[in-house]
Amino acid sequence: MKAPPRWIYRLAALVPLLVLIAWPALARVGSGESYDSGRRSGSGDDGALLDIAFLLIRLAIEYPCLGIPLLIIFVVGVWYWKRQEGSASTRKALDAAEAQRRTTVSSRDAEGWVQSLKAKDPAFDLMAFFDRTRRLFVEVQEAWFLRDLEPVRRYLSDSTFTRLATQLRIMQANGVRDAIADVQVLDLQIIGLEQSQFFDSVHVRIKASLRDDDAPATATDEQARALAQKKAPETFTEVWTFLRRPGVATDPAKDLAQGHCPNCGAPFSGGAANTCEHCGAIVNSGQYDWVLAEITQGSEYVGANGAVEGLARARQRDPELTTEVLEDRASFVFWRWIDAQIAGDPSRLSKVAAPEFVERLKGDLDALSSSGRQKVFVECAVGAVNTLAIADGGDHELAHVEIRWSAKMGIGPKGQRPPALPSVPQRWVFTFARKAGAHTPLKAGVSTARCSSCSAPLTDNASTSCEYCGAALASGEADWVLREVSTWEGFGARLPAPRPSAPRPPARVPDRDERERLVYLMAAMAAADGTVDESERKLLKMAAERWGVPWANVELSLNAGPGLFDKLLSRGSAEAEAFLRELVQMAMVDGQIDRKERRLLEAAAGHLGLGGRLEQFLR
């Protein structure tokens, strides 16, 4: 057999390198390196694969001893990737079906909502509202692509702006930018309306398509756009929620989109303060015009929540207290909290969190830094923000707000890219406090990143006071400040334990994100001791199959190391008991616990330090 010339060996040595160069683009399928909104495409990389395949086939024909092994390795690798791509494609199809189910309403309901809006505002025109929404959608996509949100800041609530700005910083820190082209709005539909004495909330379903890919952060706009053009267009669904104070009348002469203050009609050119220089109105407060308060993926959309425990009692002291303003404040503070961890600078929370909370976070970040490690966020997105309860805390009033979010996060050496990480659903409760007797500054509306005394925008320096009027901000004297952050289990552990004689509550059906969170947390605890034996792996695989969780992501969580969750549950703790109670509830959805589920619960109880106590939770 003819020996290949020396240059062929050099070329063969480059083949794995060529595959590795192409692989980052392939590895992003279904788990992109930036905020992806469920819009990632799996096409567009086949050309590179074909070029490598033709090269290897030629080597296999001319020099079989060298080419055949390389071709086998390549085929196996592509088969594995295509299998993963198929899973991602299936997941997208399921998400699309779920979005359709969650956002479909009857025409009769939609007509009723429009008539309700017209009853308060006779000049309201749905088609004009849709035209405005369509323009804003395209403008927001372009601002996101250009990494400059200032042109659309006037239309966004403070929490929405902070969310998008923080997500852009996460992408920049990971060396990528979003490449977008050919944005089209395909359909608009009003799918919900909540009306109260404080706000009208309109939910609009947006079906759209675009070409989307990741590009290096150093890519120019032209290079990024060209990269996106190579992708096939994808269709997706989002729900945009707009808020406005009841009683505001639609007035074309006061149209913010046309450069007019929505309060006085004077020319308005923008600016970070979002304040009219003529009348002082805060244009993105929702007090004078519609403001975009929330963006939700269609597959995650949930309609209005029920009554909030303690809200009616709290309104007796503060009639202007609303969950809309409280949840916007909570969302804004959440993104500040994420930003502080990315930057390693807890002082960014100084104006919106209690000093003792900032000190605790500083201690955690300093401990990581001194060990040469850092917390890394590759992605972060919020699924829901819901007020759970408002409670009397003596000299302070407490508000417990559930934030359901997801992130690819881990802990690793400073300056190094993290390994492959699953996007893990997180469920936390943020506890806010303010002085008893404080009142909501209604004039600020959902513009919650402001001093409650003078309405000046909050800066993110270390000062705990307003730079404009000197008001103390971190004390909670006048506005909600972050006091504590707890995992869902940690919060549940503080609640009274159910009485042994109390009837078991009906088993609820957890949504997909909650099922994933529970399985990933089980996997992280199983891997905490450094080894996962075959029996543990089988039980986890059984749980993943029964509860509809992708096994590939569970494997990633087994290998992800520390940081997948901010902390694991302490063995034998009240938090561990709350977690086991959640697992039992999920296993009881079909009304019974079979033999395999029992084995799973027994293994979980053992990892939680609750071995021998399972019967107590099954009663």
**What is the rounded average pLDDT of the residues 141-145?**
95
Sign of the Cα pseudo-torsion (151, 176, 98, 300, in order): negative
- List own/partner pairs for 465-471 with CB under 8 A and 24 or more apart: 465/351, 466/351
Q: Which residue type is seen at 171?
A: M
For residues 186 and 447, the model is more confident at: 186
In the block, tokens 């930018």 appear at 177
CB 179 within 8 A of CB 227: yes
Cβ-proximal residues to 134 (8 Å cutoff; 6+ apart), any chain: 185, 188
Q: How many Å apart are CA 300 and CA 332, to the nearest integer?
A: 20
Distance CA 583, CA 600 (A): 10
Distance CA 437, CA 478 (A): 9
Lowest mean pLDDT among 386-390, 433-437, 574-578: 574-578
CB 238 within 8 A of CB 295: yes
Distance CA 471, CA 464 (A): 9
CA trace torsion 205, 209, 214, 217 (10° rounding): -70
State both tokens at 297.
């993926």
| CA pair distance 506, 546, nearest whole angstrom | 20
Phi and psi based region of residue 497 (left: phi greater than 0; alpha: psi -120 to 50; beta: remaining): beta
Structure-model confidence comparison of residues 376 and 427, the more confident one:
427
Reported as a single tens digit per residue, the pLDDT across 238-257 is 999 999 999 899 998 999 98
| Phi, psi for 391 (deg, rounded to 5) | -125, 160
pLDDT of res. 508: 55
Backbone angles phi, psi at 457, to 5 degrees: -60, 145
Asked whether 449 and 274 are in contact (CB, 8 A), the reply is no
Q: Phi, psi at residue 549, to the nearest 5°?
A: -110, 130
pLDDT of residue 178: 93
End-to-end CA distance of the chain: 74
pTM of the predicted protein model: 0.78
Question: Tens digits of per-residue pLDDT, 421-479?
Answer: 778 888 999 999 999 988 887 677 888 888 888 888 888 888 999 988 999 999 898 89
CA–CA distance, 433 with 361 (Å, rounded to integer): 17
| CA-closest candidate to residue 332, choices 238, 434, 447, 479 | 447
pLDDT over 60 (residue 5): no
**Environment class of 7 (CB within 10 Å of its CB; exposed 0-12, middle 13-18, buried 19+):** exposed
pLDDT (tens digit, 9 = 90+) per residue, 298-319?
877 877 666 789 999 999 989 8
Q: Per residue in 485-536, pLDDT tens?
A: 999 988 988 876 555 555 555 555 567 788 888 888 888 888 877 778 888 8
Beta bridge partners of 260: 267
Query: How distant is the alpha carbon of residue 63 from its chain centre?
Result: 51
What are the helix (H) ranges across 547-573?
Answer: 551-559
| CB within 8 Å of 558: residues ≥ 6 apart | 523, 526, 527, 532, 537, 540
Residue 59, pLDDT > 70, answer no
Q: What are phi and psi for residue 471, nearest 5 degrees? A: -65, 140
The encoded tokens of residue 577 equal: 């008991």
Q: What is the dihedral of CA 407, 208, 239, 548, to 10 degrees?
A: -50
Nearest alpha carbon to residue 202 among 126, 139, 137, 256: 126
Most confident listed range (46-50, 224-228, 315-319): 224-228
| Averaged pLDDT of the chain | 81
- Of the listed ranges 16-30, 114-128, 256-270, 502-516, the least confidently predicted one is 16-30
The structure tokens listed for 201 are: 């909330």
Residue 9 and residue 67: Cα distance in Å, rounded? 10
Give the tokens for residue 192: 């919900």
- What is the rounded distance in angstroms from the CA atom of residue 601 to the CA atom of residue 587? 9
- Write out 503-550 in H/E/C secondary structure: CCCCCCCCCHHHHHHHHHHHHHHHCCCCCCCHHHHHHHHHHHHHCCCC
Q: Which of 289, 286, 287 lies closest to 260 in space, CA to CA? A: 289
* Partner residues linked to 374 by β-bridges: 412
- Please report the pLDDT score of residue 600 as a whole number: 84
Residues with Cβ within 8 Å of 475's Cβ and at least 6 positions away in sequence, in order, are: 354, 435, 464, 481
Cα 522 from Cα 289, distance rounded (Å): 47
Helix (H) or strand (E) holding 66: helix 64-103
Contact 231, 279 (CB under 8 A): no
Coil vs helix vs strand at 104 = coil
For the cut 90, the answer to whether the pLDDT of residue 116 exceeds it is yes
* 327 touches 401 (CB < 8 A): yes
Please give the C-alpha separations between residue 567 and each of 226, 514, 526, in angstroms, as whole numbers. 42, 17, 14
Q: Give yes or no for residue 25 having a pLDDT over 50.
A: no
